[in-house]
């Protein structure tokens, strides 16, 4: 769609957080929980360029880890509950802080990848041997 201009970083981020197409913002990005559609149903953008790798999972692990470990340390120092209570209390929080934001984080990274035209690294002026 050559008539569309490149969205701003804010528009790209909002489209990503809404799990929408990074180009038009109308089509759905996912066919399942984390499975991408082959292309946008609204503008026809081919999603073959997408390669987020482990980026979304790493960001979520770091953020969720800081939240859960910080809260667990505070509860342990202040109340000293038994270990089984820690397991009962923190396992649901771990699941909530990792699984719930994973779709949005992956879509956000996809939208920013599209916005910045990210591509695999290449060496300039190097011929393969």
Residue 77 domain boundaries: 9-115
For residue 46, give the 3-state DSSP assignment. Answer: strand
Orientation of helix 102-115 relative to helix 55-79, angle to 10°: 140
For residues 72-85, give the mean pLDDT.
96
Residue 128 belongs to a domain: no
pLDDT of residue 129: 60
For residues 79-104, give the mean pLDDT.
95
For residues 105-120, give the mean pLDDT.
92
pLDDT of residue 44: 94
Q: How many structural domains comprise the chain?
A: 1
Burial class of residue 77 in the structure, from the number of CB atoms within 10 Å of its CB (0-12 exposed, 13-18 middle, 19+ buried): exposed
pTM for the model stands at 0.84
Q: Which residues contact 20 (CB under 8 A, 6 or more apart)?
A: 26, 27, 28, 29, 107
């Amino acid at each position: 769609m050559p008539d569309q201009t490149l969205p701003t970083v804010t528009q790209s981020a909002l489209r990503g957080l809404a799990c929408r197409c990074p180009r038009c913002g109308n089509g759905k990005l996912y066919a399942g929980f984390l499975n991408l559609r082959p292309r946008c149903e609204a503008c026809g953008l081919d999603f073959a360029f997408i390669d987020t790798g482990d980026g979304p999972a790493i960001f979520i692990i770091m953020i969720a880890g800081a939240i859960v470990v910080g809260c667990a340390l505070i509860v342990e120092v202040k109340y000293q509950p038994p270990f089984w209570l820690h397991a009962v209390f923190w396992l649901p929080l771990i699941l909530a802080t990792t699984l719930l934001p994973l779709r949005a984080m992956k879509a956000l990274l996809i939208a920013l990848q599209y916005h910045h035209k990210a591509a695999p690294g290449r060496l300039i002026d190097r011929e393969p041997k």
